[in-house]
């Protein structure tokens, strides 16, 4: 049976982060994952999670929405900024006891994709060498939600991994993004599982709780078991109403938090 983590970027969004941590533990989650917690001192955050016996999985590299930026890994002319941001993310991850960092690629114009691919590979080689103790996660984002992002398919992420050749770089297999972009979620999971470092879920196309929509998540969870996936499954969905009110989905799908 899959093990589920609470993505506190999306769940209990009406509460401060420490209260979200408390809420996740209270309903039975045994792990959490974060988006951009950098405004919270690392040590108290780690202590809060330890008090609840919660495993902290990972976080994202910095973004700057005010500048229209959604990562810098593949953005030309920003290599120094990428390195500084990654160093900060890696240090923060270690300080809170997290084992992974999602390295965000950023937006790239179509006519700059080839150059951006080389830059992203160079940046990832550097980052992988700087943080051999961490797993670096690559997550393609669907073009409906994030038009212009560097990549949208699992195959593209696999190609980046092959180009870089670092053992600590893995795919963040977000079934929501895969479903919106490509469909065939289970088939792609089967194909790319050896490269998968983390799995996330949400309904397709609504991004709500995973008990609706185009992806049969009961079948998806059975596939994870059949394939021997031993990692966590991140609940990165936007609740239809309140987070607590929507937590009937595990029972509906025959799983438990």
Q: Which residues are catalytic?
A: 139, 236
CA angle 145, 102, 106 (to 5 degrees): 50
Phi–psi pair at 169, nearest 5 degrees: -110, 125
DSSP sequence for 119-150: HHHHHHHHHHHH-TTSEEEE----TTTSTTBS
Contact 204, 213 (CB under 8 A): yes
Contact 54, 24 (CB under 8 A): yes
Q: How many other CB atoms sit within 10 Å of the CB of residue 140?
A: 26
Three-state secondary structure readout of 174-237:
EHHHHHHHCCCHHHHHHHHHHHEEEEEECCCCCCCCCCCCCCCHHHHHHHHHHHCCCCEEEECC
């Amino acid at each position: 049976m899959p093990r589920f983590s609470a993505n506190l970027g999306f769940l209990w969004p009406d509460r401060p982060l420490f209260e979200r941590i408390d809420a996740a533990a209270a309903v039975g989650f045994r792990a959490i994952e974060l988006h951009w917690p950098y405004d919270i001192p690392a040590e108290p955050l780690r202590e809060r999670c330890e008090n609840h016996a919660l495993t902290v999985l990972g976080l994202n590299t910095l973004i700057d929405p005010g500048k229209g930026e959604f990562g810098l890994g593949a953005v030309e002319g920003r290599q120094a900024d990428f390195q500084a941001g990654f160093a900060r993310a890696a240090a923060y991850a270690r300080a809170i006891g997290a084992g992974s960092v999602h390295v965000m690629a950023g937006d790239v114009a179509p006519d700059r994709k080839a150059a951006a691919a080389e830059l992203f590979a160079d940046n990832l080689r550097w980052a992988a060498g700087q943080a051999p103790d961490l797993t670096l996660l690559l997550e393609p984002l669907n073009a409906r939600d994030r038009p212009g992002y560097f990549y949208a398919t699992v195959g593209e992420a696999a190609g980046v991994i092959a180009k870089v050749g670092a053992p600590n770089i893995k795919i963040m297999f977000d079934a929501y993004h895969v479903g919106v972009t490509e469909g065939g979620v289970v088939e792609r999971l089967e194909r790319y599982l050896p490269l998968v470092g983390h799995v996330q879920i949400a309904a397709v196309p609504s991004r709500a709780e995973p008990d609706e929509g185009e992806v049969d998540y009961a079948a998806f969870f059975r596939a994870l078991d059949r394939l021997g996936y031993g990692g966590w499954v991140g609940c990165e969905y936007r609740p239809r109403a309140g987070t607590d009110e929507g937590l009937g989905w595990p029972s509906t799908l025959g799983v438990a938090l």
